[in-house]
Amino acid sequence: MDERTRHFRRLRKLRGSARRWSVIGGGLAAATAVLTPYAGIGIPDAIWAAAAGGSVALAVWRHRDHRELAAIEPPPAPPAQLPGAKLVAAVERFPAGKTMLNEVRRQRERYAVRGSAVAKTWDRLDRASSTLQGLSTRLTGPGSESVLEAATAEEWLRDLGHRVASVERAIPLSPADQQAALRTSHESLSVQFDDGVTAYERLVAAAASWVAEDGQPIADDRHPSFFRLIEATDRLRGLADGLNELRQYGNKPSTAA
């Protein structure tokens, strides 16, 4: 629920509460005026009067709260969601659904640059991006900063790739006297895109080196888990041999003395 909806819901609750306590307070005040005897006020009459006074006070407070809230400018309305946005949000809550949607988006972006000069370089960017996603969970400490830098660089590269493809498609549609300038601009953008993807691939290679070195033990050539596996294997083998000896001992026929 957005803030604007909460604002108006609270406003409706205060208005309904003010009306409800006004009716209750008016009814109790009328009952008190009618039922209070002329000869004096007893304990039941004091209870009626106290209830009437409390109800009227609550009604006044609710009306005041309603006026103060109504005087506040409501929050702006949230942007309208596109058709199917709720379904997409629901699917993205699941890891498999999020993976599927990311693949669909990737294929849609790949389709937008098909047949252009940057199509092969775009495939290189996709492979590097997928590789970095697999490494990102292991890039801890100083290596985690490279993940944010890579995300910013990837966004820029994909926008640049779409721009190169758009300019390339516009060249045949342009007047003959403008095509030379567009080709020059297209070539310059293509070089920028290729250099950017190459730099991105180097970043991914550096991230892979970090993950590989981070997984190496410092004092030994092998990870302690390796030796624990060896110990667990020897322990299980010893148990198995012991059980085998017990089974063979139990199967021997007994000899009479």
- For residue 241, what are its two tokens? 């041999």
For the chain, percent of residues with pLDDT exceeding 70: 72
Which among 110, 117, 106 is positioned nearest to 192, based on CA atoms?
Answer: 117
Q: Is the pLDDT of residue 226 over 80?
A: no
pLDDT computed for residue 188 by the predictor: 92
Rounded CA-CA distance 6/14 in Å is 12
E strand or H helix at 167, and its extent?
A: helix 144-170
Q: What is the mean pLDDT of the chain?
A: 77
pLDDT computed for residue 254 by the predictor: 56
pLDDT computed for residue 93 by the predictor: 67
pLDDT computed for residue 243 by the predictor: 75
Contact of 186 with 139, CB cutoff 8 Å: no
Q: What is the pLDDT of residues 15-60, one digit of tens each?
A: 888 788 787 777 777 766 666 655 456 666 667 677 777 777 777 8
Domain spans in the chain, listed from the N-terminal domain onward: 3-71, 116-136+143-214
Q: How many CA atoms lie within 13 A of 206 on its CB side?
A: 13
Q: What is the pLDDT of residues 76-111, one digit of tens each?
A: 766 555 555 566 566 556 666 666 666 677 777 777
- For residue 62, what are its two tokens? 């609710």
Q: What is the DSSP string of 88-152?
A: HHHHHTSHHHHHHHHHHHHHHHHHHTTTSTTHHHHHHHHHHHHHHHHHHTT--GGGHHHHHHHHH
- Cα 156 to Cα 150, 152, 193, 204: the distances in Å are 10, 6, 9, 16
pLDDT computed for residue 257 by the predictor: 43
Contact of 74 with 7, CB cutoff 8 Å: yes
Q: What is the pLDDT of residues 145-189, one digit of tens each?
A: 778 888 888 888 989 999 999 889 888 888 888 889 889 998 999
pLDDT computed for residue 10 by the predictor: 83
Quote the pTM value: 0.52
